[in-house]
Amino acid sequence: MLLRGRSVRNLIPGNRGTTSRAAPHGGATLTAAVTGLPRSVLLSRPVRARPFFRELPGDVRIDARVSIVRAAAGVRLLSTLGAVAPTPYPRSMARSPESPVAPRVSAPDLPREFTPAAAHRSADLIAASLDLEGTVDLAHASLEQCTVAADADAVDLTGATLIDVDLTGVRIASLKMRDASIRRVRIRGGRIGTLDLSSARIDELLLSDVRIDYLNLGAAKATDIEIRDCGIRTLDMPQAELTRVGFTGSRSDEVDTRAMRARHVDLRGLDASAFLDANSLRGTTLTGFQVQQLAPLLAAGIGIQVMD
């Protein structure tokens, strides 16, 4: 190889026509002559590449040059400096709070004395006692710290606000509470033909030992409902948003849960003859026996044909 009329070999110091055994920095001079880079750059110490890092389960950061030995119990890391402590895979994720969470229902905050009052539309009543008969219009009324006794055909509480209200032993053919705002309301004993709570906003409701022909919770937004020792012929909850709802010792012939959104809804205490839509039971808790009863409906919901 010739460079500018001279052999490359003659460019190495001490190599004038003879072969040099070990010329200092001869390789750098040769490379400089070929590449055109300064000798100072070529003679500088090489930059050591930064090790590549990666993570393993357990947040152990290791060098890529370390050998990895996988085992059934986890991962062992072997390096030239010795064995690194074993880092097992996490066997379980962080657990969520106990589920389902029980309803947080407290008794109404009632005064010791009440004042008898007459019911009328848009009434504003505080610490009053009501005795209802016939057909009563309390639509858009406000009842706070009140007690209600009733033997009525129809009571209209549409759009009303009820806070700390106690209904004991009522007998009402139709109780409309559509679009009502309910907070700490207790209904104990008695019989109700239709209890309409559709589109209501509910926070702490107790139904105890009540016989209800038709309970409608459609499109209601409810938190903390406890239904205890009740007989409900038909229970409708389509498009309802329910949080912390529990049943104890209750029964129903038919339950409609279509498009229901549930969180911490405990149905173990509800003896239901039929659920209309098992696919909407996400977020609920059932017993093993209830799941066995729902098996045909669950199978049909995911397209399984069951034949014996």
In this prediction the pTM is 0.68
* pLDDT bracket for residue 41 (50, 70, 90): low
For residue 32, which phi and psi values (nearest 5 degrees)?
A: -65, -40
Lowest mean pLDDT, pick from 11-15, 157-161, 190-194, 197-201: 11-15
- Domains with residue ranges and CATH for the chain: 2-37 (no CATH), 115-301 (2.160.20)
Question: CA 97 → CA 128, 247, 264, distances in Å?
Answer: 41, 20, 11
Residue with the bigger pLDDT between 26 and 72: it is 26
What pLDDT was estimated at residue 28? 53
- CA 116, CA 104: separation in Å to the nearest integer? 31
Q: Following CA atoms 126, 128, 134, 140 in sequence, which dihedral angle do they give, to the nearest 10 degrees?
A: 0
Asked if the model's pLDDT at residue 53 lies above 50, the reply is: no
* pLDDT bracket for residue 45 (50, 70, 90): low
Question: CA 227 → CA 24, 33, 188, 263, distances in Å?
Answer: 95, 93, 10, 16
DSSP symbols for 179-233: T-EEEEEEEEEEEEEEEE-TT-EEEEEEEES-EEEEEE-TT-EEEEEEEES-EEE
What pLDDT was estimated at residue 50? 53
Q: Read off the DSSP letter of residue 97.
A: S
Omega cis (within 30) before 13: no
Lowest mean pLDDT, pick from 18-32, 112-126, 227-241, 293-307: 18-32
Task: Give per-residue burial for 40-77: e unless 16+ CB within 10 Å, then b.
Answer: eeeeeeeeeeeeeeeeeeeeeebeeeeeeeeeeeebbb
Task: Decide if 247 contacts 270 (C-beta within 8 A).
Answer: yes
What pLDDT was estimated at residue 306? 81
Tokens found for residue 14: 């001490």
